[in-house]
């Protein structure tokens, strides 16, 4: 062992002890007759001292050669510091060094290894191994480990068995694009990397393994939007002989356990709201409920006056922004410009200030009197001092626009506090969504999701109205997990594939093994999957998943550190029976 202690554990109680430490040179201060070195490892920083008086001359001279990030081993005695540093755990002591070994020299790193670094994203990714030396990144990785361990502990204690499902599976064109792997031994054939272990976990339920989980990498070859990764990690779970209520309780328990163990927070029972309610109240199926500004629908109170814009709109809907009646005309104009940006797309915005004196002042005063505006305040829940903002237009579009505005204001007003956690369930999702482009239904969740029994009668007459036994867990405006009760009946599953536009052959070819399995005694089952990357980021009080992944890829799907993907030998291609186009 190169060390007797780490750089994070020594304090005044160790004074006069002889110790050996090893680590990286964080920085040196050379006063000529005295040299201080901050020695860093994963656990902290300990100050070393070399002193013309007390240090052997060769050791002292060697200390003068030390540069940033040199790897060294020192032996020495712990002494009390003259000027203590109360900011670090080891701040009361320093090591008077008697032996110094340079284990490895270091070139000057391309950015500073400090909590606040001068390195930009690109350079930090290229030298990710240096970036990981920085506390924020290192702590994120340790935090992630901690979360994963707590997930495993909780689920194991609840009787779940972690089962590893295969990575080399079969390509299914439904859903996102697969990454594929040419088979050398099976000419002309390809494996696919799993987008999720969905069918395998369902087969495990058929196999009687009634509580399954797995923390597992999944893969999607999609054009990467900001903060998406081609490979990502799921906490994948499934249970048999359960109803939706059982699953909600179990995984609410898991999330509550995590909040308690990794954040020290006790959270009450999670609210449950329907998809319809979420859309109407927040314009969003993953609402951030840490703050209010719930939607108030104003059709009844704002239409049939002389304001044509509202009268012709499918939906007139507003929010009350707390304490913002004092906004200047300029501030309000800026907000109006904000909603009119193409990313949001509103054509305009009406406002109404609910002054602290109880009067109401709107941008459409010529159409609405105080009595009318009072009703707006009632519907949006505005109090004196609040600012009411109103959008109108086609219902879905307008809700989405108002939701964007609500989130933006939540951010601006500091209502989205990173260390506050407000989880909830959104339930009763639609089973299907209509795709204008392909002119057919797509599964909103996935093709294995069970319709609500009471809605099944709509399957031929009005499939779009069928609600699913599907649910999402939402935390602070992010979907962190989602799942459903599955279909366990071969007939209903076949019907579902038909509804989704699969021919019988396609269904058989792609999912025959699952439908086959259903013939041999499939139990009722359901489950969900959490996105671990995002869950960890949110629990860590951040929203960028990249900061919680050791070696992430960039938006082109490249690992810039190892420079992958890369070309391969023609010989390799030949063996795989493929060639470049």
Binding to a copy of itself, residues 120-149 (CB under 8 A):
127-133, 138, 141-142, 144-145, 148-149
Least CB distance from residue 562 to a copy of itself, whole Å? 5
CB nearer to a copy of itself: pick between 140 and 392 = 140
Instruction: List the interface residues with a copy of itself, window 51-80 (CB under 8 A).
Output: 69-71, 73
Listed in order, strand segments (DSSP E) in 283-410 are 296-297, 315-321, 350-354, 360-362, 387-393
Q: Is 529 in the site for a copy of itself (CB under 8 A)?
A: no
Least CB distance from residue 316 to a copy of itself, whole Å? 43
The residue count for binding a copy of itself (CB under 8 A) is: 121
Q: Is 545 in the site for a copy of itself (CB under 8 A)?
A: no
Least CB distance from residue 262 to a copy of itself, whole Å? 14
Question: What tokens appear for 97 in the block?
Answer: 């060094």
Least CB distance from residue 446 to a copy of itself, whole Å? 17
Least CB distance from residue 11 to a copy of itself, whole Å? 19
Stretch binding a copy of itself (CB under 8 A), from 157-165, 298-306, 427-435, 478-486: 157-165
DSSP 8-state assignment for residue 467:
B
Taking each helix axis as running N to C, give the angle between helix 504-518 and helix 490-499, from 0 to 180 degrees, rounded to the nearest 10.
Answer: 160
What separation in angstroms does the CA of 437 have from each of 153, 214, 427, 433, 440? Answer: 45, 36, 27, 12, 8
Q: Give the x-and-dash track for 20-39 against a copy of itself (CB under 8 A).
A: --x-x---------------
Whether 121 and 104 have beta carbons less than 8 Å apart is answered as no
CB nearer to a copy of itself: pick between 366 and 577 = 577
Among 2, 122, 300, 433, binds a copy of itself (CB under 8 A): 2
Element (H, E) at 326: none
CB nearer to a copy of itself: pick between 175 and 182 = 182
CB nearer to a copy of itself: pick between 87 and 579 = 579
Question: What one-character-per-residue DSSP string does 260-291 give?
Answer: HHHH-----PPPEEEHHHHHHHHSSSS--TTS
SS (H, E, C) 35-104: EEEEEEECCEEEEEEEECCCCCHHHHHHHHCCCCCCEEEEEEEEEECCCCCCCCCCCCEEEEEEEEEEEE
Least CB distance from residue 28 to a copy of itself, whole Å? 14
Q: How many residues are present in the chain? A: 581
CB nearer to a copy of itself: pick between 247 and 293 = 247
CB nearer to a copy of itself: pick between 155 and 389 = 155
Q: Give the x-and-dash track for 297-336 against a copy of itself (CB under 8 A).
A: ----------------------------------------
Question: What tokens appear for 359 in the block?
Answer: 């009067």
Q: Is 577 in the site for a copy of itself (CB under 8 A)?
A: yes
Least CB distance from residue 158 to a copy of itself, whole Å? 13
Least CB distance from residue 228 to a copy of itself, whole Å? 12
Radius of gyration of the chain (CA): 30
In whole angstroms, give the CA distance from residue 228 to residue 220: 10
Instruction: List the interface residues with a copy of itself, window 458-497 (CB under 8 A).
Output: 488-489
- Phi/psi of residue 143, nearest 5 degrees: -65, -45
Least CB distance from residue 137 to a copy of itself, whole Å? 8
Return the sign of the alpha-carbon dihedral for residues 334, 340, 346, 347: positive
Question: What tokens appear for 559 in the block?
Answer: 């690992």
349 C-beta neighbours (distance < 10 Å), count = 23
Instruction: List the interface residues with a copy of itself, window 215-254 (CB under 8 A).
Output: 217, 219, 221, 223, 230-231, 233, 241-243, 245-246
Least CB distance from residue 153 to a copy of itself, whole Å? 8
Least CB distance from residue 6 to a copy of itself, whole Å? 9
Cross-strand bridge partners of residue 213? 162, 237
CB nearer to a copy of itself: pick between 139 and 331 = 139
- Phi/psi of residue 92, nearest 5 degrees: -85, -15
Whether 293 and 321 have beta carbons less than 8 Å apart is answered as yes
- Phi/psi of residue 260, nearest 5 degrees: -75, -50
Least CB distance from residue 218 to a copy of itself, whole Å? 10
What separation in angstroms does the CA of 13 have from each of 9, 46, 92? Answer: 10, 15, 10
Stretch binding a copy of itself (CB under 8 A), from 79-87, 336-344, 377-385, 571-579: 571-579
Least CB distance from residue 82 to a copy of itself, whole Å? 29
264 C-beta neighbours (distance < 10 Å), count = 7
HSE at residue 422, side-chain half, CA atoms within 13 A, is 15
CB nearer to a copy of itself: pick between 384 and 523 = 523
Whether 59 and 98 have beta carbons less than 8 Å apart is answered as yes
Cross-strand bridge partners of residue 51? 34
Q: Is 270 in the site for a copy of itself (CB under 8 A)?
A: no
Whether residue 565 is preceded by a cis peptide bond, meaning omega within 30 degrees of 0, is: yes
Q: Give the x-and-dash track for 189-218 against a copy of itself (CB under 8 A).
A: xxxxx-----xx--xx-xxxxx------x-
Among 8, 27, 36, 42, binds a copy of itself (CB under 8 A): 42
């Amino acid at each position: 062992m190169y060390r007797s202690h780490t750089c994070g554990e020594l304090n005044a109680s160790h004074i006069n002890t002889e110790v050996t430490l090893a680590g990286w040179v964080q920085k040196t201060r050379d006063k000529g007759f005295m040299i201080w070195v901050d020695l860093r490892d994963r656990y902290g920083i300990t100050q070393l001292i070399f002193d013309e008086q007390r240090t052997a001359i060769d050791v002292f001279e060697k200390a003068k050669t030390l540069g940033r990030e040199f790897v060294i081993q020192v032996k020495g005695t712990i002494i009390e510091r003259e000027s203590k540093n109360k900011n670090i755990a080891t701040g009361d002591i320093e090591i008077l060094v008697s032996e110094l070994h340079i284990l490895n020299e270091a070139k000057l790193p391309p950015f500073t290894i400090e909590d606040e670094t001068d390195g930009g994203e690109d350079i930090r990714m290229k030298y990710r191994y240096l970036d990981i030396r920085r506390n924020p990144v290192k702590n994120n990785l340790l935090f992630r480990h901690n979360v994963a361990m707590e997930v495993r502990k909780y689920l194991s204690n609840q009787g779940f068995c972690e089962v590893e499902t295969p990575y080399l599976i079969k390509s299914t064109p439904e859903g996102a694009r697969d990454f594929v792997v040419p088979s050398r031994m099976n000419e002309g054939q390809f494996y696919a990397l799993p987008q999720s272990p969905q069918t395998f976990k369902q087969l495990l339920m058929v196999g009687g393994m009634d509580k399954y989980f797995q923390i597992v990498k999944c893969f999607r070859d999609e054009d990467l939007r900001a903060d998406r990764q081609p490979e990502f990690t799921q906490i994948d779970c499934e249970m048999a002989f359960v109803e939706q209520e059982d699953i909600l309780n179990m995984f609410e328990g898991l999330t509550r356990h995590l909040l308690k163990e990794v954040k020290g927070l006790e959270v009450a029972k999670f609210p449950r709201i329907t998809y319809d309610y979420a859309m109407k109240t927040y314009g969003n199926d993953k609402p951030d409920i840490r703050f209010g500004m719930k939607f108030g629908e104003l059709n009844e109170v704002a239409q049939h006056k002389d304001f044509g814009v509202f009268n012709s709109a499918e939906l007139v809907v507003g929010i009350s922004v707390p304490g913002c009646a004092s906004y200047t005309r300029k501030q309000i104009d800026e907000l109006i410009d904000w909603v009119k940006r193409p990313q949001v797309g509103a054509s305009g915005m009406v406002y109404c200030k609910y002054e602290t004196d109880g009067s109401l002042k709107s941008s459409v005063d010529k159409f609405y009197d105080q009595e009318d505006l009072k009703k707006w305040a009632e519907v949006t829940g505005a109090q004196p001092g609040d600012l009411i903002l109103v959008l109108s237009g086609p219902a879905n579009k307008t809700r989405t626009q108002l939701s964007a505005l609500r989130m933006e204001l939540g951010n601006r007003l500091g209502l989205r506090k990173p260390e506050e956690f407000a989880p909830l369930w959104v339930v009763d999702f639609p089973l299907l969504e209509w795709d204008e482009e392909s002119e057919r239904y797509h599964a909103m969740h996935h093709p294995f999701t069970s319709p609500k029994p009471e809605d099944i009668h709509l399957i031929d007459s009005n499939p779009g109205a069928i609600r699913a036994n599907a649910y999402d867990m939402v935390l602070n405006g992010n979907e962190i997990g989602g799942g459903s009760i599955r279909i366990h009946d071969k007939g209903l599953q076949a019907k579902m594939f038909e509804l989704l536009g699969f021919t019988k052959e396609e269904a058989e070819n792609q999912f025959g093994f699952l439908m086959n399995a259903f013939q041999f005694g499939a139990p009722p089952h359901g489950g969900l999957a959490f996105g671990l990357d995002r869950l960890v980021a949110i629990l860590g009080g951040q929203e960028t998943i990249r900061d919680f992944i050791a070696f992430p890829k960039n938006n082109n799907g490249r690992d810039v550190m190892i420079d992958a993907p890369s070309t391969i030998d023609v010989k390799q291609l030949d063996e795989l029976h493929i060639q470049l186009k």
